[in-house]
Amino acid sequence: MDKDLEFLNGCSNEQLQMLADSIAFDDQGRQRPHETLTTRKNYKLYYPKEMKKLLPDIVDELSLYGGNSIRNRIVGHGESYRNILEDVCDKYKVKYNSFNSVEEIEGFLLKKVLLVAAEDMNTEDVKHISEQLNTKEDLNNVIKAGKIASPIIIRMTTVLVYRMFSRLGARVAARFIVRFAGSRLFAILTGPTGWVIGGLWTAYDLLGPSYKVTVPCVILIAYYRILSQKTEGELKEILA
């Protein structure tokens, strides 16, 4: 198991199913042409009810998408999660340094993605995220200056993940995320708010086949890492 992904052992069955689905299926719910996860013995044994037993295969499959297919065949494995993360950051022109930790680099990526998503927000959208903020500029400043596990960033990332993975066909996203969402956030998740699927989705549509796997997976893993640092009670309070 990749040391940077060992925390996934603490994720729920639904969370791991969401990750597996985003690797194996495209946004039409079809199996990806070169995926091997669904053909593995463990997938047939453990999907979808015993996902922790499938986790090594999920991580291995993601590593294969992160590496060059010819190189993978030669060396017998794919890329490390850190290399995949850095590749995604390079794709989105996210600044980081070699001495930054994986968690720090994930934070830089999430902030960049949220700033892009915020470009399509209006005043009402901003108020849904935080009643203390008045303008989109206020929100941008909070994103840039805030800690990655701050309530506002967690709320925005939750909406992003819900909308992104619902559109990708991962219906389990609804069951996992809505369980924590209070009435105000639930209104954003299920309402007509379009800021999450504006410029971000246009950029996603232009990605190559491998990036259409690695980009959402890295965003999801970064989100899970934040959630792993909070208790269920803390999450319910943040997402109320």
Ordered alpha helix ranges (H), 25-50? 41-46
CB-CB contact of 123 with 138 (8 Å): no
Which among 10, 25, 12 is positioned nearest to 171, based on CA atoms?
A: 25
CB-CB contact of 17 with 173 (8 Å): no
Q: What is the number of domains present in the chain?
A: 1
What is the DSSP track for 131-192? TT--SHHHHHHHHHHS-TTSHHHHHHHHHHHHHHHHHTT-THHHHHHHTT--HHHHHHHHSS
Q: Which amino acid is at 70?
A: I
pLDDT tens per residue, range 130-186: 888 888 899 899 999 878 888 888 888 888 888 777 766 555 565 667 666 666 666
pLDDT tens per residue, range 65-88: 876 543 454 345 678 999 999 999
pLDDT tens per residue, range 93-118: 999 999 999 999 999 999 998 888 88
Question: What pTM did the predictor assign?
Answer: 0.90
Q: Which domain holds residue 66?
A: 3-238
